[in-house]
Structure 1
Amino acid sequence: MAYHSGYAAHGSKHRARPAPDSPPLFDDTSAGYSGQPGGYPVPGADVAFNVNHMLGDPVANVAMAYGSSIASQGKDLMHKELHRFVSVNKLKYFFAVDTAYVAKKLGLLVFPYTHQNWELQYSCDVPLPPRQDLNAPDLYIPTMAFITYVLLAGMALGIQQRFSPEVLGLCASTALVWVMMEVLALLLAFYLATMHSELSTFHLLAYSGYKYVGMILSVLTGLLFGSDGYYVALAWTSSALMYFIVRSLRTAAQSPDSVGGPLPRQRLQLYLPLGAAAFQPLIVYWLTFHLVR
């Protein structure tokens, strides 16, 4: 019985050897990578080739230079727009504090009645930083007080078995929105009254943020001594805050062109700080009464 020449007889365990002159299915390309065992390319060889090719290509060089130029212009434009809305140098001024200033300023916020000189100090027509002038507003105390207020609110809600991330987030966002609304209202009032002063948005944000100190003291006293202690602390901190706001804003809002000016403008300089101070107890109470039971 005849069998195909490529195979042995039926039942044989060995196959016939292939013809030696059979053509390969694929071309052998391992000769180009003889330096690496196993026929694999040298690591980084193709990358180096591509980089050298790009560096030697004038079109690629022009494209890279043009892309770098666009990136540089975009970076400069971003910094320009950022400095347009937020001046980093001005922001650093409001955080130039030290431990002695923070301790004295907290004491002034709690008991401002014995403080005599409320004028801002200048050096070569430049206001001194907060660490050198107790009357200078800062943003360090309002920022730290806001964070402390949020943590204290979480602890108070946890003690009363009412804590949840949603309630804590609502409490923090409400406190922040109230301050923003107060700052916008003051800016609008100064604009409508055509009062030209050195007060900026950062100044008003600092003065509005000092209420967090009174809020912390009121909530702490309420947690320790109940609702009676809360209302006593609320009355004390609110009156101290009102006195501080009136004296600070009245002094800072005075501009040289309004001194000796018409009587209506002088009244506005008095009424605006009074109006801003009158709302402080209401805001403090609204943001803290639900934390004390």
Structure 2
Amino acid sequence: MFGIPVTHSDTSKPAGSKHRARAAPDPPPLFDDTSGGYSSQPGGYPAPGADVAFNVNHLLGDPMANMAMAYGSSIATHGKDMVHKELHRFVSVNKLKYFFAVDTAYVAKKLGLLVFPYTHQNWEVQYSRDMPLPPRQDLNAPDLYIPTMAFITYVLLAGMALGMQKRMAGSEPPPLLWHRFSPEVLGLCASTALVWVVMEVLALLLGLYLATVRSELSTFHLLAYSGYKYVGMILSVLTGLLFGRDGYYVALAWTSSALMYFIVRSLRTAAMGPDSVGGPVPRQRIQLYLTLGAAAFQPLIIYWLTFHLVR
């Protein structure tokens, strides 16, 4: 009205507000910042894990530590080589592969030779560049494939024979409980057959050592010749299961005589060795007796391991 400007006050502020409102304080951090070094823990201790990282970095950067690690690695490598050397000394992988170098034709011919050895003429092991030919190229070469497969087949056949005896024994009063099949009895048959072979091989090695026989027969050779008996054992048990006790004894006599002939003809040259030709007569007699004893012992083992399977 009088031209005097009128100043309007801010009516949004509450009455009595004369000072400006203060800003709200920042909330405290949830985690401490440890990127710059040690955390603000009581006592001035470093954060967990910081000293471990420091020690590892210091250890890796220490030349003495690196030298110790390299020396320890060399010792470990040298010990590994020594273990492999001693292992190959007793069990040579290359020699073991030689005894499993077979094919289907060799297996068929070898099985026929084990059952009908009387028509075979040449029993000499063939060589090429002073190295014996593998079994698939030489029928006279010993192998471990047939003994291994025959051993497994014998154990399975023994389980089947014991199972058949269980049913037959259960029908008779009173039942013959000690004939019944069980996994323990099957394991006992396998372990017994394996122990007999090991004892036979050890006896042959001892005999060769006492007779001072210089031959090329190794433990694998003796294990192969001793394992061929499982073929005759399988045939004897199968014949006994099909034709009874009479058939078992006929098959036992045939397979035992065939195995004895095979063992004598196979071990005769190898056991006596070329160095024994023209040697002392007593030593030649001992070597011949050793071969004949090894052959004559086969029927006893076959009978002992199979007679309880045929009832």
Q: Do the two structures share a fold, i.e. TM-score over 0.5?
A: yes
Stretches (4+) displaced over 6 A: 46-51
Shift of 1:109: 0.3
Shift of 1:238: 0.5
The aligned residue for residue 251 of structure 1 is 269
Q: Name the CA shift for 1:279/1:28 in 2 (closer, same or farther; >3 Å).
A: same
Q: Name the CA shift for 1:130/1:49 in 2 (closer, same or farther; >3 Å).
A: farther
Q: Name the CA shift for 1:21/1:29 in 2 (closer, same or farther; >3 Å).
A: closer
Alignment of 1:33-44 (within 5 A): none
CA distance in 1, matches of 2:53, 2:163: 62
Shift of 1:271: 1.6
Deviations 1:235-261 (A, max 9, x none): 111111011001111122232221122
- Normalising by the residue count of structure 2, what TM-score does the alignment of the two structures yield? 0.77
Shift of 1:47: 11
Does residue 164 (structure 1) correspond to residue 179 (structure 2)? The answer is no
How many residue pairs are counted as aligned between the two chains? 261
CA distance in 2, matches of 1:149, 1:95: 19
Percent identical residues: 87
The aligned residue for residue 119 of structure 1 is 124
Q: Name the CA shift for 1:28/1:256 in 2 (closer, same or farther; >3 Å).
A: same
Deviations 1:37-83 (A, max 9, x none): xxxxxxxxx99998766543445433432332222122111101101
The aligned residue for residue 201 of structure 2 is 183
The code of the aligned residue for 1:71 comes to: A
List gaps (5 residues or longer) in structure 1. Answer: 1-19, 34-45
CA distance in 1, matches of 2:267, 2:117: 14
The aligned residue for residue 101 of structure 1 is 106
Q: Name the CA shift for 1:160/1:69 in 2 (closer, same or farther; >3 Å).
A: same
The code of the aligned residue for 1:175 comes to: A
Tell which structure's C-alpha radius of gyration is larger.
Answer: 2
The code of the aligned residue for 1:154 comes to: G
Q: 2:31 aligns with which of 17, 28, 31?
A: 28
RMSD of the alignment, in Å? Answer: 2.7
Deviations 1:229-285 (A, max 9, x none): 111111111111011001111122232221122222222232221111111111000
Q: Name the CA shift for 1:273/1:54 in 2 (closer, same or farther; >3 Å).
A: same
Is the partner of 1:160 in helix, strand or coil?
Answer: helix
The aligned residue for residue 81 of structure 1 is 86
The aligned residue for residue 64 of structure 1 is 69
Q: Name the CA shift for 1:51/1:225 in 2 (closer, same or farther; >3 Å).
A: farther
Q: Name the CA shift for 1:47/1:180 in 2 (closer, same or farther; >3 Å).
A: same
The aligned residue for residue 155 of structure 2 is 150
Alignment of 1:179-218 (within 5 A): 179-218=197-236
The code of the aligned residue for 1:230 comes to: Y
Deviations 1:75-96 (A, max 9, x none): 1111011012111111111111
CA distance in 1, matches of 2:26, 2:53: 39
CA distance in 1, matches of 2:57, 2:305: 66
- Normalising by the residue count of structure 1, what TM-score does the alignment of the two structures yield? 0.81
The worse-fitting range, judged by mean Cα deviation, of 159-168 and 133-142 is 159-168
CA distance in 2, matches of 1:21, 1:86: 77
The code of the aligned residue for 1:112 comes to: P
Does residue 274 (structure 1) correspond to residue 279 (structure 2)? The answer is no
The aligned residue for residue 285 of structure 1 is 303
List gaps (5 residues or longer) in structure 2. Answer: 1-24, 37-50, 167-179
Q: Name the CA shift for 1:67/1:251 in 2 (closer, same or farther; >3 Å).
A: same
CA distance in 2, matches of 1:100, 1:236: 24
**Contact 2:272-2:284 within 8 A present in 1 as well:** no
